[in-house]
Amino acid sequence: MGKVIGKAVTRVEDMRLLTGQGKYIDDIGTPAQTFQAAILRSSSPHANLVSIDTAEAEKVSGVKAVITGEQVKKYLDPFSVGVSAPVHYYPIAVDKVRYVGEPVAVVVAKSRYIAEDAMERIKVKYEALPPVIDIEGSMEEDAPILHENVGSNVANHRTFHYGRVDQAFEEADRVIKHKYLFPKYTATPVETYGIIANYESSENQYTVHANFHGPFVIQAIMAQALKIPSNKLRIIVPKDIGGSYGIKAGTFPYMVLLSVASRIAGCPVKWIEDRQEHLSASSSGTDRVTYIEAAVKNNGKVTGLRMKMIDNVGAYIRAPEPACLYRTHANSTGAYDIPNLHIDAYAIMTNKLPTGLIRGYGGQELYFPLERIMQRVAFELNLDPADVMRENLIKKEQFPYKTASGGMYDSGDYMKGFELALKTGKYEEFRKKQEKARKEGKILGVGLACIVEPSGSNMGYITVALTPEERAKSLPKSGCSEAATVSMDPMGSVNVRISTTPSGQGHETVAAQIVSEVLSIPADKIKVVAELDTSTSAWSIASGSYSSRFASLGSSAVFYAAHKVKDKLMKIASHQMKVSESELELRDGAFYEKNDPTKKYALKRAAGSAHWNPLSLPEGMEPGIYETYYYSVKAAEPPDENDLINSSVTYGFVADLVTVEIDPDTGEVRILDYVTIHDAGKLLNPLIVDGQIFGGLAHGLGGALYEELVYDNKGQLLTGSFMDYLCPTAPEIPNVTIKHIETPSPMTPLGAKGLGEGNTMSAPVAVANAVSDALTPYLVEIDTLPLSPNRIWTLLNQAKQNKNKEVTV
C-alpha cells in the first residue's frame, strides 16, 4: 500500500448513484401506516390570522387530520435564537402571517393527492397589514412592525472597533465610499426538503428521518422547542442527500412541525416539499446593504475600512442567523493587510422568506462591497486595479497573519496566487485587446477578485452577536468538534462511521482513502457509513456538513480515529511477537519486524485476537476494536472581551480573473474566460476538489448573472418556479481554468483546508468588476446584482442619455 491520500481516485458512492440505488429521504421506506402531509401556506405577506375553517377539509375521504397553528402551539415553545430580541418563531403561523409561503395549516391524509385536495377546502380569513420589504425601509420610524413585542424590525445590532480607525481616516489622502446591495438568492438543490416524523407516546419520543445536515447544535434547539429531553428527539439522516449547498440546515422548522403533526394525527407523517414551496418557504441567502468607506493613500494603500452592514434575515430571525453577519468576521478585511476596521452590523426583519445557510454564507455579501471598493480605489486614483491589489495583499512573510478582528490566517502565499491568476489570464495582453476592441465599438472588460475562503467554523463566532456583557452571562462557546469512529470486526474488515452528513462531496471516498493509508488496507475493503443517527452515532454540536468543514475537521477526526485503531493493533502485534512497537512497521496489511522482514503478524490476526481471544491481549487492554476520535482545534477560541474572534479554523485563498464582452444592443454579459487560482492547503482528492470548485463557481456565476428571489413592493414572490428563478445550465458555463497552489495548513494533521465555497464568494464580484471595467467609458457603477441583460441595458441607456444631455447643455 502506497500513498492514497492526495490521489485523484474515483468515488465509492458513484456505482449506487448511477444505477438508481441511491438511498435518499424519499427512497428509504416508511413505517406501516405512514400518512402524507401537505402544507397550506400564506398567500399574504403580512396579515392577522382572523380564522381558519377546516370543517370542509376534514370531510374529505382519506383525511386523517387538519392541523393549525393553535393546535401545534400547545406542544411547542418558540425556537430559541442567538440574539437578545424576543422574536417568537414557531414553525407555523399562530396569530399573524409574516411572509408569503409561511405555513398556516397541515393536512395529513392517505396520499399527497388527497391531502392537496383537502387543502383547497380550508378557508382562511386574513386581515391585511402593510408589508415592509425594503431593507432600509424596515428601519424607518413609521415602518410597519413585524413583531410588536420586539418594538422595531431590528433583530440584532452590534458595533465593532478594531485598531485606530479614526486616525486612519484623518490621515488618509482620500476617503472612497459607496453603497452596495447584495440581493436575496438561493441554492435550489434538485432534491427538496423531505421528512418522515414519528411520535411514539409510549416513550414520549420523536424519531425524525430528514435530509438535514446540521449543524447539530440545532438538534438541541429542536428538542427545546418540542419541550422534551434531547435524547427523546432521535434524528436519522439518510446516507444520500440530493444536494444542499447549506439550505438543508433550514429543514429544522419543518422537522419540528411534522413531529407535532405526527403527534396530533397519531400516525407517522411524511412530507416531501415541492418546488414552489422550496422557492417560497424553505430558506435563502441573506440580502445585504453595505455602506463601505475606505481610507486610502495616494499609492492605493488602504489603511482603514468602515462598513455598515444591514442583513435582511426575512420575517423571523432563526438559527443560525444572524450568523451571516459574523461567519466572516475574522476575515472582514479579506486578503488585504488593513489593520484598522470599524463594523456597524444590523440584522433586520422584513416580510420575506427567513434566511439561513447558503454556499459561501456571508462571503459573497462581504466580498461584493470589499472587492468593488478596491476597484473603485483604483479607478478614482487612476491606478491599475492589479497594482492596488498588489499594494494591499498580505505578504507571504506575514503568515500566520493576525487580522484586525482577531482572525489567524494559518498559511498562504497570496501574491503568488494572484500573480499566477494574472499570468494565466494574460492580463496585460487582454488590456491591449480591450483598448483595440473599444476603438471598434466593442465592450470588453476584465475583473479581478482576491478572497480568503474560511472553513471549519468556530462555534464561538455566533456569540459575537451578543455584547461581551451579554456573553459573560452564559458559558463561553468555542471549538469546532467533529467525531469519527473506525472499527474492525473479527474478520479484520473495517467500518468507518462519519458524522459529516455529506450531500455529494464524496466524504465516503475520502474517508476510505485516509483509513486505507493509515491502516495499510486497500480502500475498497473499507466500508464508510455516512448515515447519522443522533441516538447511536458519535457526534457533537458542531457536526454536520457546512462551512466546508470536512477537509479541515471531518478528515482530521477520521485520520486520528484510524491512528487509534492502528496504535491498538500495533500494541497487540508487539505483545504477540514479543518485539517492541518501535521495531515494528505496518505495510500491506501486516506488521513487519523492521530488522527481520521475514517475521510478520497480519493485521487481520491482531483484530481477530481482540475479538476471539481477548485473554491473549496485553494486560489491561479492552477487547474489541472500536475507536472514536473527537477532533477540535485550539485556535477556535471563544470571542474575547474586545470582540476579537478567530471565526474559522483554516483560511484558503482564491484569486479570480474573468474577462467579459457585453453586447451593446441587448446588454447581455458574455463571459469569455474564467481563471481561478486556489490555495486550499494540501488536497485530499484532486478529482473531488475540482468538482467542488466547478460547482461553487457555477453557483457564483448564477448569483452574478441570473439568480434572484424577487419580491414585488407588496411582498409577493415573483420567482416561484424554475421558469422564473433562473439557474445556470450547461451552455451558460464559460471556459474555466482552475489552478492550484498548496501551502499546507499547520492547523490540521493532513495540511488540508476546506474548499468548494470560494468561487460562490468570489464570482459575483469578479464578474461585477469585469462588467464595471467594461463599462468604464460610460461611467457606470455596478452596485447590485444579478447583472441581467435588462439591468445592463438600462444602465447603458441611462449613461448614453446622460451623455447626450451633457452635450445639449
Partner 1 sequence: MSLTEINVTINGKAYAEWVEPRMLLSDFIRETCGLTGTHVGCEHGVCGACTISMDGAAVRSCLIFAVQADNREIKTVEGLACNGEMTALQKNFVECHGLQCGFCTAGILMSITDFLEKNPQPSTKEIKETLSGHLCRCTGYDGIVKAVQKTVQDNQKEVLQRS
Cα-trace Rg, the chain: 28
Residues 126-165 that bind partner 1 (CB under 8 A): none
The number of beta carbons lying within 10 Å of the beta carbon of residue 329 is 30
Q: CA-to-CA distance for 74 and 88, rounded, in angstroms?
A: 14
Q: CA-to-CA distance for 697 and 177, rounded, in angstroms?
A: 28
Task: Find, among 529, 532, 545, 531, the residue nearest to 497 by Cα.
Answer: 529
Q: Is 506 in the site for partner 1 (CB under 8 A)?
A: yes
Q: Edge-to-edge strand order for the sheet containing 648-662?
A: 443-457, 648-662, 669-679, 736-740
Residues 6+ apart with CB under 8 A from 575: 617, 618
Handedness of CA 240, 246, 252, 258 (dihedral sign): negative
Interface residue with partner 1, options 188, 282, 328, 463 (CB under 8 A):
188
- State the minimum distance, in angstroms, from the CB of residue 99 to partner 1: 22
Q: CA-to-CA distance for 280 and 258, rounded, in angstroms?
A: 18
Q: Is 737 in the site for partner 1 (CB under 8 A)?
A: no
Interface residue with partner 1, options 688, 755, 771, 795 (CB under 8 A):
688
- State the minimum distance, in angstroms, from the CB of residue 762 to partner 1: 14
- State the minimum distance, in angstroms, from the CB of residue 699 to partner 1: 7
Q: Is 721 in the site for partner 1 (CB under 8 A)?
A: yes
Continuous segment of H or E residues that includes residue 701: helix 686-705
Q: CA-to-CA distance for 422 and 449, rounded, in angstroms?
A: 11
Per CB under 8 A, the segment of 337-345, 422-430, 431-439, 683-691 that binds partner 1 is: 683-691
Q: Is 293 in the site for partner 1 (CB under 8 A)?
A: no
Interface residue with partner 1, options 2, 20, 441, 620 (CB under 8 A):
20
Cell numbers for 767: 464578474
Strand 205-210 to strand 408-409: parallel, antiparallel, or no bridges (unpaired)? unpaired
Q: Is 190 in the site for partner 1 (CB under 8 A)?
A: yes
Q: Is 673 in the site for partner 1 (CB under 8 A)?
A: no
Q: Is 282 in the site for partner 1 (CB under 8 A)?
A: no
Interface residue with partner 1, options 10, 48, 535, 801 (CB under 8 A):
10
Per CB under 8 A, the segment of 408-416, 497-505, 538-546, 582-590 that binds partner 1 is: 497-505
Interface residue with partner 1, options 253, 334, 369, 504 (CB under 8 A):
504
Task: Find, among 429, 557, 456, 571, the residue nearest to 498 by Cα.
Answer: 557
- State the minimum distance, in angstroms, from the CB of residue 434 to partner 1: 26
Helix pair angle (363-381, 385-392), 10° resolution: 120
Interface residue with partner 1, options 736, 766, 775, 782 (CB under 8 A):
736
Q: Is 33 in the site for partner 1 (CB under 8 A)?
A: no
Residue with cell 434572484: 708
Per CB under 8 A, the segment of 304-312, 369-377, 726-734, 740-748 that binds partner 1 is: 726-734
Burial of 379 (0-12, 13-18, 19+ CB in 10 A): middle
Q: CA-to-CA distance for 143 and 130, rounded, in angstroms?
A: 9
DSSP state of 681: B
Per CB under 8 A, the segment of 161-169, 407-415, 526-534, 727-735 that binds partner 1 is: 727-735
Kindly tell me which of 21 and 804 has the beta carbon lying closer to partner 1. 21
Per CB under 8 A, the segment of 85-93, 256-264, 418-426, 501-509 that binds partner 1 is: 501-509
Q: CA-to-CA distance for 728 and 496, rounded, in angstroms?
A: 36
Q: CA-to-CA distance for 648 and 81, rounded, in angstroms?
A: 21
DSSP state of 117: H
The number of beta carbons lying within 10 Å of the beta carbon of residue 800 is 12
Q: Is 620 in the site for partner 1 (CB under 8 A)?
A: no
Q: Is 24 in the site for partner 1 (CB under 8 A)?
A: yes
Interface residue with partner 1, options 730, 806, 807, 808 (CB under 8 A):
730
273: phi then psi, degrees, rounded to nearest 5: -65, 140
Cell numbers for 434: 480591450
Size of site (CB under 8 A) for partner 1: 54
Q: Is 27 in the site for partner 1 (CB under 8 A)?
A: yes
Q: Is 243 in the site for partner 1 (CB under 8 A)?
A: yes
Cell numbers for 632: 477540535
Site string for partner 1, 202-241 (x = CB under 8 A): --------------------------------------xx
Q: Is 809 in the site for partner 1 (CB under 8 A)?
A: no
Q: Is 22 in the site for partner 1 (CB under 8 A)?
A: yes
Q: CA-to-CA distance for 593 and 599, rounded, in angstroms?
A: 6
**Torsion, Cα of 100, 102, 106, 107 (10° steps):** 10
Write out the E strands in 112-153: 123-128
- State the minimum distance, in angstroms, from the CB of residue 181 to partner 1: 24
Per CB under 8 A, the segment of 258-266, 409-417, 721-729, 796-804 that binds partner 1 is: 721-729
Interface residue with partner 1, options 15, 55, 128, 779 (CB under 8 A):
15
Q: Is 268 in the site for partner 1 (CB under 8 A)?
A: no
Q: Is 731 in the site for partner 1 (CB under 8 A)?
A: yes
Q: CA-to-CA distance for 491 and 606, rounded, in angstroms?
A: 10
Kindly tell me which of 187 and 222 has the beta carbon lying closer to partner 1. 187
Q: Is 191 in the site for partner 1 (CB under 8 A)?
A: yes
Interface residue with partner 1, options 6, 7, 17, 297 (CB under 8 A):
17
Q: CA-to-CA distance for 601 and 511, rounded, in angstroms?
A: 25
DSSP state of 409: E
Interface residue with partner 1, options 690, 742, 781, 783 (CB under 8 A):
690
- State the minimum distance, in angstroms, from the CB of residue 756 to partner 1: 10
Q: CA-to-CA distance for 491 and 589, rounded, in angstroms?
A: 13
Task: Summarize as ranges the residues that interact with partner 1 (CB under 8 A).
Answer: 10-11, 13-15, 17-22, 24, 26-27, 113, 187-192, 240-243, 245, 272, 274-275, 503-506, 687-688, 690-699, 721-723, 727, 729-731, 733, 736
